Amino acid sequence: MSGAKHTINDRIEQLREQIREHEHRYYVLDQPLISDFEFDQLMRELQQLEHENPELITRDSPTQRVGGEPAKEFPTLKFSRPMLSLENAYSEDELKDWTRRVVQLAKTEKVDYVAELKIDGLSVSLIYGNGLLSKAVTRGDGRTGEVVTGNVRTIRSIPLRLHEDVSVEIRGEIFLSLKAFRQLNDEREQAGESRFANPRNAAAGSLRQLDPSIAATRPLDFYGYSIFPTLPLQSENLKWITKLGLKVNPHRKLCRSVEEILDFYRHWEEQRDDLDYEIDGVVVKVNSVEIQEKLGSTSKSPRWAIAVKFRARQATTKLLNIRVQVGRTGALTPVAVLEPVQLGGTTIRNATLHNEDEIERLGLQINDRVLLERGGDVIPKIVSVIEQAADRRAFQMPSRCPVCGGEVYRPEGEAVRRCLSQTCPAKLKESLLHWASRKAMKIDGLGERLVDQLVEKSLVRDVSGLYRLSQEQLEGLERMGPKSAENLLRQIDASRSLEFWRLLFGLGIRHVGERTAQILAKHFGSMQRLQNASQEELEQVYEVGPKLAESIYRFLKQPENRELIEKLEAAGLPMKSDDFVPPEMAQVFEGKTFVLTGTLEGMTREEATSIIEHRGGRVSSSISKKTNFVLVGRDAGSKLDKARKLGVQILDEQQFRTML
Ligand code: IVH
């Protein structure tokens, strides 16, 4: 390696070390030392150096979490040590029986246990060779698993390089926090996709994505619970996993008696709702590995561990009726009306039924007794029919909209019927609430009660109507004083200066979620360009598939929607993006390398870098013969001299601007 390369490599290694340390502090310890901005700066510098010196990129570099092509399918791998499952105990008595058996088989008086939480996720095995993550494998059938390394590499709490250069296998549970689960489901709903039933399914779906870049957008997390080779005690194993840089669930207890295990179990059955992830019980393990080996395993599960399951958050009740709600997209959703029942501390009166196929699948009729379950979702669901009622009545989806009486249509291949009326008040109410939501136009004061009144009194006929409301009109509504009317008008007015993508999202085009709206806004830059785009042009946008392209295209072609957009424009709403780069300009710096030196007057270095990169160029930190331009500001130093020596073209800020 030449001298210069040597110092670059040193800097790269130094950056990697720092980034690893900060990732560990942030994702594993939850004790960040620096701001997100500072972290991004380190990451960008590393990316830049690796970009300029691709031969120095290593697989364990923090920049290499997402990489590689989407897989066609996952290869399988046979475990050298099977991934066993656990036997379950469903009561305190069953647990006591188990401890008695353990003591008997172990032929010792004194057995210590480690009680851990049973995380409701998916088990994986992480294989590290000389400290580097080489493979991640799902449990599969326990003998053979699927290799999902690409996806697991995107989990930020799993280090690509351990704190020690050891070869170990670490097993543990991959899961999704409740917060992440609810957010993911909300996004899916907004995009017209189906919700995941619970965090476990969502985690499984994410881990089984063939494209790691999709998995990377799902904030999966990990807690380790076993390591091989093993130390003499499970409690020591857990500490060792932590020492190597992974997460171990902090809620665990060394128990010296069955009473202590029961205390832990009762505590967590009581407190499980305080956690931001789902647990379904407590796992009790014999602490001594020597005793574990003495006890051995059956073909399915070890005799030295047991899962003590919590009582399921289930209840039975009677289905009194099925009501039909109409959503923003006109979707008719059946909702179960239940005889009120207690479930995990709250009274449940309703449960979603999603669509008519779901009712058929459950074989559900009115008056039946049903089994309810509350998973990670806030709204409980009906799992099955427990008992068919003698006086049961079959439910029929209405053939007309229950709110406006409009025509209802179920497109082929879809599970959902929709109200076709453009003026359906139910659709309008939902559209207004969506428009006002935090991710769209942030009109906090516009809640359900107000929307009901605005629609029922015909003060608003579409979202543009909000921008014509007057103080007097608002003051005339229930629970609306002059102050709150004024506040609301101020919020409505403020929404005029928000970003264009929010408006695109707020329009509620089917399948267009927040992220898609941002992509579209950036790509097309204005409503006009978007409206002029053909379906093919839409499909060419990165991340826009045919289904989405068709939905956007149709929406924008509909005369009512065009009219609405005109009215919104007239009301002063944003119809253009600020960060848009027109395509004809986009590639003026294609393939060109810039070096920046000195202080620029009219822009920061970051801005200059972004301008160059947006137009196809790149910015390097050192000058070579391959550099095309040096952009010089005030007090430029040695780089300017070097540029002159090498005969690289020198630009001042004015010349640079002219080139733009
Ligand atoms: S130990 C041989 N510890 O529960 C012992 N499992 O059927 C292997 N799980 O497949 C498991 N939290 O996915 C263990 N603290 C914990 C756990 C845990 C969750 C899962 C794991 C396993 C299943 C048991």
Q: Domain residue spans in the chain?
A: 3-64, 87-309, 313-387, 420-580, 583-659
Contacts of residue 479, Cβ cutoff 8 Å, sequence gap at least 6:
449
H helices, E strands: number in the chain: 25, 22
pLDDT of residue 580: 63
Query: How many whole angstroms separate alpha carbon 126 and alpha carbon 173?
Result: 10
Does the beta carbon of 84 lie inside 6 Å of ligand 1?
Answer: yes
Lowest mean pLDDT among 127-141, 401-415, 521-535: 401-415
pLDDT band at 344 (very low <50, low <70, confident <90, very high): low
Identity (one letter) of the amino acid at 622? S
**Structure tokens given for 131:** 């400290």
Predicted pLDDT at 527: 95
What CA–CA distances, in Å, run from 494 to 452, 485, 490?
22, 14, 6
Is the shortest distance between the CB of 173 and ligand 1 below 6 Å?
yes
Q: Mean of the pLDDT values across residues 353-367?
A: 92
Mean pLDDT of 498-527: 91
185-188, long-range: CB < 8 A, 24+ apart: 185/377, 187/513, 187/514, 187/515, 188/513
Per-residue pLDDT, averaged over 378-389, amounts to 88
Amino acid (one-letter) located at 246: L
Query: Tens of pLDDT along 612-654?
Result: 877 778 889 888 888 999 999 888 888 888 888 888 999 988 8
Give the DSSP letter of residue 26.
Answer: I
Kindly tell me if the per-residue pLDDT of 166 is higher than 60: yes
Quick: pLDDT tens for 11-69: 999 999 999 999 999 999 988 888 888 898 899 999 999 999 999 999 999 999 987 67
- Tell how far CA 556 is from the center of its chain: 29
Residue 237 near residue 287, CB atoms below 8 Å: no
Residue scoring higher pLDDT (323 or 547)? 323
As a whole number, mean pLDDT of residues 415-439 equals 90
What is the best residue among 79, 81, 85 to mutate for testing ligand 1's pocket, by most ligand atoms within 8 Å of CB? Answer: 85
Mapped onto helix, strand or coil, the DSSP state of residue 609 is: helix
Known active-site residue 239: no
Residue 357 Cα, ligand 1 centroid: separation in angstroms? 35
DSSP conformational letter for 279:
E
CB of 252 closer than 6 angstroms to any ligand 1 atom: no
Residue 647: Cβ within 10 Å count: 8
CATH class of this structure's domain 313-387: mainly beta
Superfamily of chain region 420-580? 5' to 3' exonuclease, C-terminal subdomain (1.10.150.20)
Residue 558 burial (10 A CB sphere; 0-12, 13-18, 19+)? exposed
pLDDT at position 475 is: 92
Instruction: Please give the number of the atom of ligand 1 that sits closest to the Cα of 120.
Output: 19
Instruction: Please state which of the four CATH numbers 3.40.30.10, 3.40.50.10190, 2.60.120.10, 3.30.390.30 is assigned to the domain occupying 583-659.
Output: 3.40.50.10190
CATH of 87-309, one of 2.40.50.140, 1.25.40.10, 3.30.470.30, 3.10.180.10: 3.30.470.30
pLDDT at 574: 94
Residue 203, helix vs strand vs coil: helix
Type of residue at 645: K
C-alpha distances out from residue 311 to 171, 176, 308, Å? 26, 22, 10
Q: Determine the atom of ligand 1 nearest the C-alpha atom of 86.
A: 7
Torsions phi, psi of 400, nearest 5?
-125, 155
Q: How much distance in Å is there from the Cα of 133 to the middle of ligand 1? A: 21
What mean pLDDT do residues 132-155 have?
94
Going from the Cα of 428 to the center of ligand 1, the distance in angstroms, rounded, reads: 48
Q: Is 241 in the pocket of ligand 1 (CB under 6 A)?
A: no
The residue written with tokens 């499980």 in the block is 272
Q: Is there an atom of ligand 1 within 6 Å of 203 CB?
A: no
* Percent of the chain clearing pLDDT 90 (strictly above): 64
pLDDT band at 270 (very low <50, low <70, confident <90, very high): confident
Ligand 1 centre distance from Cα of residue 122 (Å)? 9
In the set 72, 96, 118, 639, the catalytic residue is: 118
Which SS3 state, helix, strand or coil, does residue 334 take?
strand
Q: Any bridge partners for residue 316, and if so which?
A: 371
Task: Say how many Å lie between the CA of residue 633 and the centre of ligand 1.
Answer: 60
Report the pLDDT value the prediction gives residue 581, as an integer from 0 to 100.
Answer: 57
> Who has greater pLDDT, 167 or 270?
167
Pairwise CA distance, residues 615 & 493, whole Å: 35
pLDDT at 378 (0 to 100): 63
Question: Which pLDDT tens digit goes with each residue over 169-206?
Answer: 999 999 999 989 988 888 887 676 777 878 898 999 99
Which tens digits make up the pLDDT trace of 432-487? 999 999 989 999 999 999 999 999 999 999 999 999 999 999 999 988 889 999 99
Average pLDDT over residues 256-271: 94
Nearest CA to ligand 1 atom 2: 84
Please tell me the distance between residue 26's alpha carbon and the centre of ligand 1 in angstroms. Answer: 26
Closest ligand 1 atom to 307 CA: 24
The class level of CATH for 3-64 reads: mainly alpha
Q: In sequence order, what are the beta bridge partners of 136?
A: 126
